[in-house]
Amino acid sequence: DIVMTQSPDSLAVSLGERATINCKSSQSVLYSSNNKNYLAWYQQKPGQPPKLLISWASTRESGVPDRFSGSGSGTDFTLTISSLQAEDVAVYYCQQYYNSLPLTFGGGTKVEIK
Amino acid sequence: EVQLVESGGGLVQPGGSLRLSCAASGFTFSTYWMSWVRQAPGKGLEWLGKIKEDGSEKYYPDSVKGRFTISRDNAKNSLFLQMNSLRDEDTAVYYCARPSGYCGAGYGSCFPFDSWGQGTLVTVSS
């Protein structure tokens, strides 16, 4: 199984400041055949299901504000919120879908306002 | 608009069984692999398995293999999760989820989940 490790577990950031979340996979999720990283980021607000923010490590989904960005390749990935807004308070999860058996998620990072 | 609506959750005793349903609409259900994902209270996300478009292939993680069974009825645009021998640690919100594209077996053959239901709560307790 590919183990996904997120850090930190939680972080508190002032409004308008940058938030950075890290995700590390135990094996590379870069598929050499198409040079794509099979890594997604989800946002989950209380009482809601996860929402897909970013796929292929850096491709924002339609409607996702451009303050959200994803980067990284291979085994190390980062989700950055460039200017934290109040509505960004949530738990963020990374997920690898390179090896679909099983699909695995990181443990989550809780983002709060300082 | 894609909609996934889970139902069937509730309180069940340890050792009991429960069958969850997921009603799909707004897309051609029969052309998508579908998955179940759960989330224990205050915990992270755990993938529970997936089923091929026509139901001919099913895959499960070791954690639920032999206890959970996924099925589907494409004529009724419905996905099911049969859960047997339930344990306290199966207490969770259960989501059905649809990938944004194909999601078969193996490496490099899947897409992320772009559609989720609201979830149904299963509580296993005596």
At A66-111, the pLDDT tens digits run: 999 999 999 999 999 999 999 999 999 999 999 999 999 999 999 9
B-contacting residues in A 45-64 (Cβ below 8 Å): 48-52, 55, 61
Helix (H) / strand (E) containing B114:
strand B113-116
Report how far residue A113's alpha carbon sits from residue B59's, in angstroms, rounded to the nearest whole number.
40
Residues 6+ apart with CB under 8 A from B107: A31, A98, A99, A100
Q: Are A77 and A23 a contacting pair, CB within 8 Å?
A: yes
Bridge partners of A54, per DSSP, are A41, A60
* B102 in contact with chain A, both atoms CB, cutoff 8 A: no
Q: Are B44 and A107 a contacting pair, CB within 8 Å?
A: yes
> Has residue A38 got a pLDDT over 90?
yes
Q: How far is A89 from chain B (nearest CA, A)?
A: 16
Q: Are B64 and B48 a contacting pair, CB within 8 Å?
A: yes
Contact B112 A49 (CB under 8 A): no
Look at chain A and count its residues.
Answer: 114
pLDDT reported for residue B109: 86
Return the residue in B4, B113, B118 with the most chain A beta carbons within 10 A, the one to mutate for interface testing: B113
| Range B93-121 average pLDDT | 94
* B92 in contact with chain A, both atoms CB, cutoff 8 A: no
**Calculated CA dihedral for residues B92, B98, B100, B101, nearest 10 degrees:** 130
Q: How far is B31 from chain A (nearest CA, A)?
A: 18
pLDDT reported for residue B108: 83
pLDDT reported for residue A41: 98
pLDDT reported for residue B105: 84
3-state class (DSSP) for residue B90: helix
Percent residues over pLDDT 90 in chain B: 94
> Has residue A25 got a pLDDT over 90?
yes
Q: How far is B32 from chain A (nearest CA, A)?
A: 15
Contact A103 B105 (CB under 8 A): no
3-state class (DSSP) for residue A29: coil
Contact A97 B106 (CB under 8 A): no
Say which residue the tokens 């989950």 belong to. A44
